[in-house]
A and B are shown apart, each in its own frame.
Chain A
Amino acid sequence: MTERAPVHLSADSEEMEISFGPQHPATHGVLRVMVKIDGERIVETKPVIGYLHRGTEKIFERETYNGCIPHTDRMDYTAAATNNQGLVGAVEKMMGITIPPRAAYIRMMLAELQRIASHTIWLGTHALDIGAQSPFFYTFEEREKILDLYEEYCGARLTLNAMRVGGQPFDLPAGWTDRCRAFIDQLPAKIADWERLLTKNRIWKLRTVGIGVMSGADAIEWGLTGPPLRGSGVKWDVRKVFPYDHYEEMEFDIPIGTNGDTYDRYLVRMEEMRQSVRIVRQCLDRLPDGPVMAKVPKVIKPPKGEAYFSVEGPKGELGYYVVSDGTDKPYRLHVRPACFINLQALPELVRGHLIADLIAVIGTLDIVLGEIDR
């Protein structure tokens, strides 16, 4: 007889502790979840994070303001454009810079394309976690087209580094708007295709309806933002309540759910993609001419003081709190990460559910560990 593994729990207990991750196929990166289960039922969950910690906020302090931008790319690496947008917005707010309208429109387009790209990854992996293999490939095809548009604009596909304090580093290349419009025009049909595979699928509904329910009031208490908050029926979108760039000129709806379950969050994100298409189309229609960079000093030196600026990222409210001591480097730059705060609700969302639901709920929170650990 070989030696058996040590038993962690008392002999009369039916409970078992399982460590999900950090190398687990469905925890989206290096999330580790310590789960105490009774049979298949979850008794307790404890997310363990930090496996991807790079000290980004400390790194910010030794970089110039524009030098911080590439580091923001690497936080939520599926949504670099909105990460950039938040940081440059915060610095511009401190310095009182108004960026030229053309730059603002380009920013909005990049951000909305990024929202679509991020949601396509979410949909693909979420469906894959629930066992549907094919949507993953269909969504990644569309994401690929967005990345091509990015590559054409700024040379990078994932870590864009596509914005600067005071505007945009480059104007749109010739023909970009046409290709963007072509992409936007064919996308709604693809989204409808994905929905045909899932929305009314019996198994998909069995797996998502009533799973990970959170009421609107609870969601606010937990500080959720983004689709998890809107899925619970709270109409809150930074683009509407504190418009930045030129979102106040854009016509779009905020989709909200009613039950606050995984299915509602799914529907909300699907609708958000359509709304993003709407916004990009309006941007393309009204794209103003003019410069893309405001007059800013060569060395960015915000006055002594502090500022908080947030954008509506694909995952939720992404805020930057900048403290300046008047030099060319931030004294402190804190990030309010959407994923980190959304993840905190995980134990609450899965209590009493089955193990399979844990996977569904991790998927529906749409977390990126790069942003959680920073």
Chain B
Amino acid sequence: MTTPWMTYLLVPLIKIVVILVVLILLAAYLSWFERRILAFMQIRIGPNRVWPKGWLQAIADALKLFSKEDVIPARAEKLVFLLGPVLATAPALIVFSVIPFGPTDMFRLTDVNIGILFILGVASVGIYGIILGGWASNNKFSLMGGLRSAAQLISYEVPMGFAVVTVVLMANSLSLVKIVEAQKAQHVWFAFPGWLAIPGLIAFFIYFICGVAETNRNPFDLPEAESELVAGFHTEYSGMKFAFYFLAEYANMVVIASIATVLFLGGWLRPFPNVAALAFLDVIPPIVWFFAKVAVFLFVYIWFRGTFPRYRFDQLMALGWKVFIPVSLINLMAVGLGILLLGGPR
């Protein structure tokens, strides 16, 4: 007996709570995984003390940040200073409302027919959190961090958009669910669409690199480059407000990884969805495939951090405007032309 009451309020509410809890825990644990993995890459041990074997480290960190004194600098713009972390965190969490974790309605909150547009729009709001937070701190280092991130995010949003449009062309839809289903129908992952493998790969790499830049992660971590700007835009933030920026960063990493999975790696589909011989892989539930792919991306994020030095600000800009934008634009045209001439991806 399903009443409208249940379908439209109760079930979505439960889903929202589940998604939020899982996501926040995932972001918190991502920081723990990062520390462990980095430690192994750097011949250290990493957090292994909090019982058992350091598994509660993420919880302990959160509790510690809760109990910290919440400092608001005397000369800060109080309202904007408080608004900063909220504006940074909320969009990162909202984006998950349209991400399909599995094939059925059960695994997603909603399927918006302009899902990818919605994501790009909402995610852009997150920039305000960083700019405003950096500005409102009334600290020169914060201000510079905020300005850097504004410039960086705007520059990298463009090639990222082009890479996404490439996929939209291939799938002929803006809905994330439809995009995955199109990959199933065409028996490919859009990272290597059989008929246009190279443009697909290029779009995939551009998307992921821009994603790393969007989340201010190494080697594009200029807004918080600790050796230059102390801690960048969040220099003055402490306690829970800092924790929210932290959460936003890690949630954004999960967002980028999830979108990359959906757009390019076939979302919840198993590898080689067209090869019947691999059908035994269907034993593994789709949601596991989804999170496994996300995990691979997250590992690469951490791997980057253990390997690369940091770009300089002007070099970052040059890379974005002089390399990624032209390449992604040409790539987009190539895909468009391919679809026009070959009569669609099939």
- A356 B228 Cβ-Cβ under 8 A: yes
In Å, the complex CA distance between A356 and B309 comes to: 12
* A201 CB–B CB distance under 8 Å: yes
* A4 CB–B CB distance under 8 Å: yes
- B140 A18 Cβ-Cβ under 8 A: yes
Q: Which residues of A contact B308 (CB under 8 A)?
A: 131-132, 201, 203
Known: A3-B75, A4-B138, A206-B312. A25 touches B227 (CB 8 A): yes
* B246 CB–A CB distance under 8 Å: no
Binary CB contact string for chain A from 20 to 51 against chain B (1 if under 8 A, 0 otherwise): 00001110000000000000100000000000
- A207 B141 Cβ-Cβ under 8 A: no
Choose from B42, B230, B315 the contact partner of A25 (Cβ within 8 Å).
Answer: B230
Q: Which of A54-62, A91-99, A122-130, A278-286 contacts B (4 or more CB under 8 A)?
A: A122-130
- A357 B312 Cβ-Cβ under 8 A: yes
- B140 A128 Cβ-Cβ under 8 A: no
**Chain B stretch 184-240: residues in CB contact (< 8 A) with chain A:** 218-219, 221-222, 225-230
* A359 CB–B CB distance under 8 Å: yes
State the Cβ distance, A359 to closest chain B Cβ, in Å. 5
- B309 A2 Cβ-Cβ under 8 A: no
- A134 B140 Cβ-Cβ under 8 A: no
- A127 B138 Cβ-Cβ under 8 A: no
Choose from A128, A134, A141, A355 the contact partner of B41 (Cβ within 8 Å).
Answer: A134
Known: A133-B306, A203-B219. A2 touches B77 (CB 8 A): yes
Chain B, residue nearest A198 (CB)? B309
Q: Which residues of A contact B322 (CB under 8 A)?
A: none
- B309 A130 Cβ-Cβ under 8 A: yes
* B48 CB–A CB distance under 8 Å: no
Interface size range of chain B in the complex: 35 or more
In Å, the complex CA distance between A40 and B42 comes to: 32
State the Cβ distance, B259 to closest chain A Cβ, in Å. 25
Binary CB contact string for chain B from 32 to 54 against chain A (1 if under 8 A, 0 otherwise): 00000010011110000000000
In Å, the complex CA distance between A362 and B144 comes to: 20
- B315 A206 Cβ-Cβ under 8 A: yes
Chain A, residue nearest B42 (CB)? A137
Chain B, residue nearest A132 (CB)? B309
- B218 A131 Cβ-Cβ under 8 A: yes
Choose from A5, A138, A204 the contact partner of B138 (Cβ within 8 Å).
Answer: A5
Known: A3-B75, A134-B306. A354 touches B41 (CB 8 A): no
In Å, the complex CA distance between A3 and B77 comes to: 9
- A130 B141 Cβ-Cβ under 8 A: no
* A192 CB–B CB distance under 8 Å: no
- B219 A131 Cβ-Cβ under 8 A: yes
In Å, the complex CA distance between A69 and B322 comes to: 57
State the Cβ distance, A328 to closest chain B Cβ, in Å. 47
In Å, the complex CA distance between A204 and B74 comes to: 40
Choose from A18, A25, A131, A357 the contact partner of B309 (Cβ within 8 Å).
Answer: A131
* A184 CB–B CB distance under 8 Å: no
Chain A, residue nearest B226 (CB)? A25
* B291 CB–A CB distance under 8 Å: no
Q: Which residues of A contact B76 (CB under 8 A)?
A: 2
In Å, the complex CA distance between A40 and B225 comes to: 14
Chain B, residue nearest A1 (CB)? B77
Contacts A132-B307, A133-B306, A197-B307 aside, 4 further interface pairs with beta carbons under 8 A come to A40-B314, A134-B41, A355-B144, A356-B225
Which residues of A are at the interface with B, using a C-beta cutoff of 8 A? 1-5, 16, 18, 24-26, 40, 127-134, 136-138, 141, 197-198, 201, 203-204, 206-207, 354-359
